Amino acid sequence: MMLSSFKRCLNHRFLPHSDETRKAMLDVIGVKTQEDLFSTIPNNLKCDMSKTIPSGVDEKQVLQKFQNLASKNLPASETAFFLGAGSYRHYVPALVDHLIQRSEFMTPYTPYQSEISQGTLQALFEFQTLVANISSMDFSNATMYDGATSCMESALVATRVTHKPKILIHPSLHPHWIQVVETAGRHNPNITVERMKTQNVENWKDVACVIVQNPSVDGSVCDLSNMSNEAHKNKALLVAACSEIVSLGLIKPPGQMGADIFAAEGSSLGSTMNFGGPLLGLFAANKSLMRQAPGRLIGQTKDSDGNDVYCLTLAAREQHIKRDKATSNICTSSSLMGIAFSIHLALLGKEGFAKMAQLNHINASKLTKLIGGIEGVKIDTDKFFNEFTVTLPKAAEPMVDSLVEDKVMCGVPYTRLYRGFDSVNENKLLMAATELTTEDDMLKVYSAMKKYLVK
């Protein structure tokens, strides 16, 4: 038996079938060759891939190939890095990756069978508890795909609860999140999505919710209390969005400002940027909305022996029922990223989380003083957390592309951030600083921007 397996490996190490087993299968089917399996496909629809696919190479050559490709990348760690706009460079403790790579966590699917999933269920229950605590909301679900998805699902919750069709999008919301919410609106004839033209709601008729981001996409921080009061007076909900979860270590949480639903991006804790993914959606809300919440909820209960145990609860809200009756149809969770989030936040603790947020704000404040000293540069954002908008005397996008050559990633130009939107100021640039931003990084971007702008 072992000798037979060895011979098959000599034939092809990754394909278990030998010529003999292939012939046996073809005989059972009743055809002579593998090509006969595709005889019903017209020849004009077939293509000869043998001319375009190169021959196979060994493992060492594959490794060398990918190393050569990777060497062409410019990692954030090798640059003066000031990009943000929803994905931020933060330090992730080594223990996070070490723990989530345990086999029990590394391959988690939805833990439907609670008897054999107590570890994963408990970890996700603790994740829910942490999210509810930092946001000051009553409950959290067990992850969403990303912040944009969570925001969209939050708006749909509002329409179901209020029985009103209109979703208002505040100018503070990230443009990519706007597009996700509008996509949901385009495919649902029972709701309408409207972008607000001003900071205040002019007409509350038929409004199910207003979505406001804090900190705003331009970096500014505000108090949502007035908007919350106005929404509740008009029997509408306030959805508080947040693309930088670390901000909750310093600013007032949405629950304390009257928000009904909190939709956020959580990848700043436990995850790295990785070209934009995988991300982590956070959803938290008031208790009265629990039965309309999307995604999965982990609950604590007692087993037959009286021990504390964990299980999926209120699961009939999901895709187990008719699609048109389900609160969501999310079939793959972001559990692993949620557990990474929990480990990182638990390592920080309450004081550590606040200290991390303070470092972000301190570095951003130092950066504004430097960049604001460049002739012709105006800092647009007054109150901010770790991100702010500047107006340059020249177009931002050509400068950004130019400075990359000097290993300086100075920010996100509005023309790139708002691509596809009308009336975008080409001179605006969004810059971010985190706890990883050094004094040398700040001096480098200051010198590079000054050299480019002041001639």
Q: Hey, where are the domains in the chain? A: 79-90+350-453, 94-344
pLDDT (tens place) for every residue of the chain, 455 residues total: 444 544 444 456 677 888 889 999 999 999 999 889 999 999 888 887 777 888 888 889 999 999 999 999 999 999 999 999 999 999 999 999 999 999 888 875 777 788 888 999 999 999 999 999 999 999 999 999 999 999 999 999 999 999 999 999 999 999 999 999 999 999 889 999 999 999 999 999 999 999 999 999 999 999 999 999 999 999 999 999 999 999 999 999 999 999 999 999 999 999 999 887 789 999 999 999 999 999 889 999 999 999 999 999 987 666 667 767 777 777 677 899 999 999 999 999 999 999 999 999 999 999 999 999 999 999 999 999 999 999 999 999 999 999 999 999 999 999 999 999 999 999 999 999 999 999 999 999 999 999 999 97
Alpha helical stretches, state H, 12-117: 19-29, 59-70, 94-100, 103-106
- End-to-end Cα spacing for the chain: 77
Question: How far is 86 from 148, CA to CA, in rounded Å?
Answer: 10
Contacts of 332 (CB under 8 A, 6+ apart): 109
Q: Concatenated DSSP letters for 28-48?
A: HHT-SSGGGGGTTS-GGG---
- Dihedral sign for Cα atoms in the order 321, 326, 329, 330: negative
Nearest Cα to 409, choosing from 454, 368, 375, 441? 441
- Dihedral sign for Cα atoms in the order 431, 435, 437, 439: positive
User: Given 3-state DSSP classes, what are the helix, strand and coil percentages for the chain, each rounded to the nearest 5?
Assistant: 45, 15, 40
CATH no., domain 79-90+350-453: 3.90.1150.10
pTM: 0.88
Q: Concatenated DSSP letters for 295-334?
A: S-EEEEEE-TTS-EEEEEESGGGSTTS-GGG-S----S--
CATH no., domain 94-344: 3.40.640.10
CA distances from 243 to 268, 315, 444 (A): 9, 28, 27
Contacts of 83 (CB under 8 A, 6+ apart): 76, 89, 409, 411, 412, 432
- C-beta separation of 155 from 294 below 8 A: no
